[in-house]
Structure 1
Amino acid sequence: MKDKIIAVMLSIIMTLNFFDVIADISLGVPFWHIVEESIIVLVSALGALYLIADIRARTRHMATLKEKLTISDNQLKNISQEMKDERLHYSEVIAKQFSQWQLSESEKQVAMLLLKGLSFKEISGVRETKEKTVRQQASSLYAKADVEGRHEFSAWFLEDFMAD
């Protein structure tokens, strides 16, 4: 949202300066002043275009990520009943552990997405929250789980599957 506001502000600056340049030309203002204001128009336009392109790219990336998660969920529907039962059991074990750690609902959502391998940026896009919020929730859940970070957190749930 912040990027959109900045892009709009840059567009307004560009537009106002553009009309100022036109007025200055008709008033016979010195050439150096017209060049200076033209540079402001150009830089504002480039900044706005860059932000708009970046916003579109991030939006496409998040849409793709959501689509991949949906596809992944659909693929899980095609697994055998035994695998479904085991997956359900493991999900219950994870949920029970989250409850023992007394994670909030938001922390539980972040924790599950971390276990699925998503980055903080991807999680913030999927949950439609700020990345800073996701980082704070992750830090809180790491503290409650008494682990140092995302790798140790994931390993906590996977180490029992590793052969000795």
Structure 2
Amino acid sequence: MLSTSNMLKMLERYENCTYGSMEIDRSTTNAEQNSYKEYVKLKAKYESLQQYQRQIFGEDLGPLSLNELEQLERQLDCTLNRIQLIRTQSMLSQLSELQVKEKMWIEANKDMQDKLEKVNQAGPSWTGGENGCSYEQQNQHPQSQGFFQPLDCNPNLQIGYNTLGTSGQLTSSTNGQNLNGIIPGWML
């Protein structure tokens, strides 16, 4: 049989289960009510922000008073000034970046010109002569004489260069070959 202590423990557990679930139901109801209140507040704030946005874009200005319109105008002026300041700062930073790049390119260009002048002063130069190819040696250093060597040029091997004596021969012989499609005239 059940002793009184067992009976009391059982009644205590029954009360905890029954009344504990009621407390949980109450807390759930309170949470739902709090959530609904928060939803209503957020919805009102959202609608207010939408109304403000429309007013900023120049819509729904009719219900505003003169003071509200002046306040809106001041806010728009302040916002416009901030936008212009940010744009100006952005343009100035881009300008300074471009100036740094310009200085780099100018220095690189100077270095290339200096190297080119050194090469022109120390090495040979190629100029066009009567054959279209001649070699002149200018102030060569003893180390560079083994590196730069004159080349023998044959004027008949120049592509696209016809001397007066051979131009008639080349055109008459190449016209026939062009028609046959064997070798184009510019390759002879």
Classify the TM-score, shorter chain: 0.3 to 0.5
**Structure with more contact order per residue of length (Cα contacts < 8 Å, sep ≥ 6):** 1
Q: Which has the higher helix share?
A: 1
TM-score, normalised relative to structure 2: 0.29
Instruction: Tell me the TM-score normalized by structure 1.
Output: 0.33
Larger Rg: 2
